[in-house]
Every structure is written in structure tokens, then in C-alpha cells.
Structure 1
Amino acid sequence: MMDEDRIRDIDEANMLKDITSMPDHIREAAEISKKVRLEGPFKSIFSVGMGGSGIAGELLGDLVDRVPVFLCRDYELPKFINKDSLIILNSYSGNTEETLACAKAALKTKANVLVITSGGRLLEMAKKHTWAFVNIPSGLRPRASLGYQLFSILCVLSNSGVVNLSTDIGKAVEALEKGSFKDKAIALAEKMKGRIPLIYSSPQYSSVAVRWKAQLNENAKIHAFANIIPEMNHNEIMGFTKLLAEHYVVFIRDEQDNKRIIERVRITKKIITNCGVDSTELVLKGSSKLSKMITAVHVGDLVSYYLALEYGVDPSVNHLIDEIKRELTK
């Protein structure tokens, strides 16, 4: 690993501090959202958000099993939203145009609305229309604010009786603080260097695989791809027949996954090894599903960060995303 001076030269905005501050972000999220409650019950939840704000909804969908969670990554809301629905409008900046378009559409529904934001026009709308909201701290890259976004949502849903995760939240913080992740992340980043990462998980952790993929995209500035097992066994596995580039596979799995999925992981790993592709298994540990998910997310965040350093790119800068936003304003 490179020396500290070189790291500071690359990571000018100190993204590492933002990543490793997640336990503090979670604690603060619990504090600022403790008085926010919603009037349920809800028969459906629609999570609206893009990019670093959208991933909170993905993770929420894998955590909540009492109510179906639908993801909205568009300018329009689904037509089947009704008075028994909860719409979660999540935009870290408060100015994401797709989320603002859905916010305007929400006014035409009878659904309940919860806003998670650090400010901007979305916060103004929440106050104007008396929507429930959590005003999280500003100053971070959206993807580095996941602790605030996800746990603000979880705390509000817990306050409102939609989920029962109050003890799990404390365990998740403890798992992050007691875990030793740095060396594992550095070693995995070194193995990934020069290769295209492929992230595979079981369906119950698909959001974790998506987070890994997105962090590798944004922090390390490389292509990466995510899929689930068993689905990839029915199509993507054939791509290992004719490899057009070097790949590195990460299997994210839980010992409590379906036994047939565990067996499929074993077989898939054997096949790709025979095809000349290296891989790593990340076996999830923790006392709750939330703890397992958030520690796996944290490892992925660190891997993407150290891979950015390996490539000599600033993990905080997203020049191409910013270029698209500038072009759209013309």
C-alpha cells in the first residue's frame, strides 16, 4: 500500500473519513429522526431516489418483509399508488430532478409522504406541504451519506410500527465498530486491480451487490457488474466461455442462504475457476440481517476506495456525472 502523503494527494477530500464515519452517521440519524412518526398502516412502500440516494431504497427492500417495497428511479410514479401507500422521497441534495418530478406527482396522490434530504427544493416542498421529513446533515457526497439516509428511514419506520429494528440498529453500529475490515479490503482491491469486478449474491442480498457495483463505478471509476444467484446460472454463466477481458468475481453469501443457492455458489465457483477466473467468497457474519448487510456494504465501500488509490484516481470526484448535469441545464 502507498504512503500517507501519496494517499492525501489522491484523496484530497478525505473520502476515507466519510466512509469510516458511518457508525457516527447512524447514531446521528437515530437522534434526528426519533420524533418523526407516520400514520399507518401501509400496504405498500415506494422508495424514490437516484444514485447514492437510491441505494437506501434497495437496501430497505431487502430488509422489510412485512410490506412490499417498490423502487422508483424515474420521473414518474407508478399508477397503482393509493391512499394506503407510503412514498419515500430521498434526495441528499434535495435538487435531484427525477426525485423532484416524483415529488410533484406525489401531490396528486392520496399517499403518505416521507422526505429524507439535506436541503434544497425538496425540503422546501416538504415544509410547504406538511410532509414528514428528516433533515440530514449536508456536506457529504450522496453515496457517503448512506448511514444517514438508510437509518433515518429505518428509524422513522420503526417509530411508526412498520418495522421492528430498534435493537438491530444498535447491533449494526457495534458490528461496524468492532469489525476489522481494512486489511481485507486492501487485499481484495489489489486482487481486483486491472480486472473487471463481477459481484454475485443471493436474492436476499442483491442490494449489497448493487451497492458494491455502484461504489466501484463512482469511487474507482471503472466498470463493474452485479447479478444474483440463481439467475446468473441461467444466462450470465455462459459469458465465461469466451472472456473478452480479465475478470474478478466476488461471491457475497450467507450461511443461512437457501441450501440450493449455497450449492450453486460452490458449483459456479468451480466452473469459473476452470475458466481461469479468480474469485473471493465474502461470507457474511453478524447477529442480524441488518448487521450482515451493513458490514458487507462497508467492506465494499472500502474496497472501492482502496482500488481508487491503486488507480491513482480521486474517489470523491465524479466529473462525468457532473458533466451530464451541466449539459441538462443548458
Structure 2
Amino acid sequence: MNLDDINAIKNLDRGNAAVSIDMLPKQINQAWVEGYSTNFPDSYKKAKNIVIAGMGGSAYGARILKSLYEHELKIPINLVNGYHLPAYVDKESLVFLSSYSGTTEETISCASEAFARNTLVSGVTSGGKLAEILQKYPSFIFNPKFNPSSQPRIGVGYMVVGLLALLSKLEFINLTTPQVMSTITFISEKGVLLNLSSKTSDNEAKKLAQNMHDGIPVFTIADFLEGAAHAIRNPINETGKQFGLYFTVPELNHHLMEGLAFPQIAKKYLKFIFVESNLYEMQNQKRMKLTRDVVEKNGIETQIIELKSRDKFTQSMELIQFGGWFTFYLAILNNIDPSPVPWVDYFKEKLLK
């Protein structure tokens, strides 16, 4: 597939994934304005711990929150990817219920436990049973008008910034309206260089997809970008319909480097993408360079993505935006509609029987 053949791409993209990806700045703006307008009782600001229940794309906000703000949060925060809340959750806990569709069974199960323990409750959703539940609580219940694909993973602006807006309003994190507006301006300008109209010769996302579509992309990142890397790995699977991984520095330096020797055939398919940032801790910047050296010495191909924005929040959004387009182009090169998730749908259907 020619990535500059816009008409052919649009014919394949029957679910309007490209339109949704291009609307990320508008998703962020809507999520921030509406989410930050939420009014909370004073009791919510006195929570002793925060637990966020969410699955898949609906958990991106929690992962990015932990990566960006864990070191400044004054109370513990935990992400639940399952049916049950931790035993310590009680009436002094603040439980955020996160489900784009509002029908995620694991999140609904956690909601029942939160009510049974009389916790503080908030959440982010666009509808379903969860929207009915959250009507009684201060929450961000949104109309996903800037996500015509209706795919949660492509409505990432809603799920990430919606949660951050609520936590900012509660004064648990320091994220301001000027910061968010600056981020929107940056990614709006950046999007012009990545979208369908941008020629492959000038489009880094298209070029990376061309390089990666016949291999196994392995994203390598550090510290504050771990949450954003998760929000790329999942769409490699769901959108690109391709196997992909991510590893974090410094953790990978304690095991992965010794696992690159065998099987030899893996070296034909593994392709490491190093995400570089001048905002990493200095020691991690050094580790990234040394890690790339080790990977190349093992005969494995590497690529670099260099983030350009000025602050950590914007770099996280910059990487998510890049990942959205990169995984979209993977799907196009794999000659498949990026939106449907037939195996996930099959699994859910069988699970109900």
C-alpha cells in the first residue's frame, strides 16, 4: 500500500480511525475544559489514597498519571487491572472508575466493591452502565464527539486528560490550563507533519511504519514516558494488528541485554525503537545510549525517535500522537481496517456464554 495514496487509505479506513487520530488536540481540549469544571466536595481532597480501576485503553490515564506525577503525589496511587479492589481500600480511599464504553465488566465489579466499602467515588466514561452510576458522583461523563471511530484506544485524549483534569481540580497534581493549552498548540502543529496529507518523505510516522511493518517493534523508553509507551504498545496490537513490545530503562539493563543472543532467527524480526528525551534523568540518558550500543552489537536493528517539546506532559502527548499515526500506518501497510478488533470481540462474546 502506498502511504501517500490518500483515497486508497480512506477506502480501507472504513472506521474513520484517521479522523479520530487527527482530532487528538480537540479531544484534549474538550476533556480538560469539561473535566476541570467538575466540582468536588471538600472530603475528596482529604482522601488518604487513590485507586484507579480500568482496563486496556481506559487505563492509559492512570499509567500516564503514575509515570508523570508519582514523584510529586503526596498520597499513594494504585492501578487495578482486574475485578477486585485492594484490601486496604476503605471510606478514606478515592476510587476512580475508568471505562470509555461504560460497560467494562472488571470496572463495574470494582464499582460494586467501592460502594460496599463506602469509598469516595469519581470516574471517566462516555456512557453505559458506568455513566448511570457516576451520575451520582462528581465525574467526567463525556460526549465523544471528536472520536468518530468510537474506539476507546483512539479516544485517548478523553481518557488521559479527563482523569488528569479531575486530579488537577482536586489539587493532587500540578497541571494548569496554560500548560494544557500550550500542549494543544504544539501537537496541533505537529499533527500536520504526521497526518495523511504529509508525504512519506517528510513524515516520520509513515517512514517508521514502513520500516517496522515486517518486523517486531520494540519500544525502549525511560522514566516519565513509561505510561505513554504503554499507550503505543496496545495500539500496535489493536490498531496495527501486529505484535510489539516495550521495555523501560533502567529496568531492562538488569536482564534484557543478556536475552538478545538467542534464538538467532529473532534478530531478523526484532527492531528496537529508542525514544530519546532531554528531560530524562541524566543517568537514564546515558543508559539509553549505552543500551542502544548493546542492542546494535547483538546485530539487531535500531531506530531513534527524538521528542521535541519542552515539558514532560507535552512530550507524553507528543509520543502518544506519534504512536497513534505510526500504528495507523502499520494497519494500512498490513492492508487491514485499523478500527475493528475482531478477536477481542470474539473473546468477549464467548466469555458471556
Q: TM-score range with shorter-chain normalisation?
A: over 0.9
Q: CA-to-partner distance for each residue in 1:202-256, whole Å, 9 max, x for gaps?
A: 1321111111111101111111111111111111122211243311111123213
3-state SS in 2 of match to 1:158: helix
Cα contact 2:123–2:163 (8 A) shared by 1: no
Q: Where does structure 2 lack aligned partners over 5 or more consecutive residues?
A: 196-202
Greater CA drift, 282-291 or 48-57? 282-291
Partner of 1:120: 128
Q: What amino acid sits opposite 1:134 in the alignment?
A: F
Match of 1:244 among 246, 262, 265: 265
TM-score, with length taken from structure 1: 0.95
Q: Quick one: structure 1 residues 253 and 43, their matched pair in 2 at CA, closer, same or farther if it must change by over 3 Å?
A: farther
Partner of 2:57: 52
Partner of 1:170: 181
| Count of residues paired in the alignment | 328
Partner of 1:68: 76
Alignment of 1:200-215 (within 5 A): 200-215=220-235
Inter-partner Cα distance in structure 2 for 1:278 and 1:58: 28
Root-mean-square deviation over aligned CA pairs: 1.5
Inter-partner Cα distance in structure 2 for 1:275 and 1:295: 30
Q: CA-to-partner distance for each residue in 1:3-45, whole Å, 9 max, x for gaps?
A: 1232122211110110110111111112322331333133322
Inter-partner Cα distance in structure 2 for 1:260 and 1:308: 36
Task: Report the CA distance between 1:151 and its aligned residue.
Answer: 1.4
Partner of 2:249: 229
Q: Quick one: structure 1 residues 94 and 283, their matched pair in 2 at CA, closer, same or farther if it must change by over 3 Å?
A: same
Inter-partner Cα distance in structure 1 for 2:283 and 2:6: 45
Inter-partner Cα distance in structure 2 for 1:71 and 1:164: 20
TM-score, with length taken from structure 2: 0.89
Cα contact 2:60–2:159 (8 A) shared by 1: no
Identity value in percent: 27
Q: Which of structures 1 and 2 has the larger relative contact order (alpha carbons within 8 angstroms, sep 6+)?
A: 2
Greater CA drift, 289-298 or 138-147? 138-147
Match of 2:194 among 181, 185, 207: 181
Cα contact 1:61–1:68 (8 A) shared by 2: no
Match of 1:161 among 140, 153, 171: 171
Task: Report the CA distance between 1:260 and its aligned residue.
Answer: 2.1
Inter-partner Cα distance in structure 2 for 1:12 and 1:296: 25
Inter-partner Cα distance in structure 2 for 1:153 and 1:325: 26
Partner of 1:318: 341
Match of 1:94 among 102, 120, 126: 102
Match of 2:29 among 13, 16, 27: 27
3-state SS in 2 of match to 1:227: strand
Q: Where does structure 1 lack aligned partners over 5 or more consecutive residues?
A: none
